[in-house]
């Protein structure tokens, strides 16, 4: 990450830009880079009795257990070789669970983490809970759209 940043600043300082522009750009990009380095260790997924807390470099989101429909692992939309964990919400949206993926964990550990989170979710569900066919259909449609989009972008599909 540092190499492209340094190359960009080097290019900025070797071009005939005004001094105020070069200094402003250097201060802005150095501040942004420092902020990312400061925030990166904070990214994680935490589980409490009341909620699942997802922290990324940019935001923190708390999702109470009652708002979670299911927890599943699925291919990442940008990289089908990467498997990530998502909390699917009762309104049909999903939240990616930070650092619960096959880049941070081996495949067996990822499956164990997802199974553990699902068991915690099942403990907190009401006894009358049943799968929602409309929500299942919505989740399946989203997965199909993402697969089609990836095929189109990667040039492996017809795009129609």
3-state secondary structure the chain: CHHHHHHHHHHHHHCCCCHHHHHHHHHHHHHHHHHHHHHHHHCEEEECCCEEEEECCCCEEEEEHHHEEEEEEEECCCCCCCEEEEEEECCCCEEEEEEEECCCCCHHHHHHHHHHHHHHHHHHCCCCCCCCHHHHHHHHHHHHHHHHHHHHHHCCCCCC
The confidence score (pLDDT) of residue 159 equals 46
The structural domain count of the chain equals 2
Assess whether 36 and 60 both reside in one domain.
no
Count the neighbouring beta carbons within 10 Å of the beta carbon of residue 77.
Answer: 16
The confidence score (pLDDT) of residue 138 equals 92
Residue range of the domain that includes 107: 43-129
Assess whether 64 and 115 both reside in one domain.
yes
Assess whether 64 and 86 both reside in one domain.
yes
The confidence score (pLDDT) of residue 43 equals 79
- Residue 159 lies inside a defined structural domain of this protein: no
Assess whether 53 and 34 both reside in one domain.
no
CATH number at residue 75: 2.30.29.30
Assess whether 58 and 105 both reside in one domain.
yes
- Residue 80 lies inside a defined structural domain of this protein: yes
Assess whether 60 and 117 both reside in one domain.
yes
Give per-residue pLDDT as tens, 33-70: 887 777 666 778 999 999 999 998 778 999 999 999 99
The confidence score (pLDDT) of residue 160 equals 47
Assess whether 7 and 54 both reside in one domain.
no
Residues of the chain where predicted confidence (pLDDT) is lower than 70: 1, 39-41, 156-160
């Amino acid at each position: 990450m540092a190499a492209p940043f340094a190359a960009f600043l080097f290019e900025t300082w070797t071009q005939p830009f005004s001094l105020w522009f070069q200094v402003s750009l250097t201060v802005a990009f150095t501040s942004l880079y420092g902020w990312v380095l400061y925030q990166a260790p904070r990214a994680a997924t935490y589980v409490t009795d009341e909620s699942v807390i997802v922290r990324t470099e940019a935001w923190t989101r708390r999702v109470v257990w009652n708002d979670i429909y299911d927890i599943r692992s699925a291919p990442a939309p940008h990289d089908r070789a990467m498997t990530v964990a998502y909390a699917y919400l009762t309104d049909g949206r999903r939240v990616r669970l930070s650092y619960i993926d096959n880049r941070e964990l081996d495949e067996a550990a990822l499956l164990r983490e997802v199974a553990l989170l699902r068991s915690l979710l099942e403990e907190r569900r009401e006894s009358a809970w049943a799968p929602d066919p409309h929500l299942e259909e919505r989740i399946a449609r989203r997965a199909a759209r993402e697969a089609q989009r990836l095929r189109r972008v990667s040039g492996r599909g017809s795009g129609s």
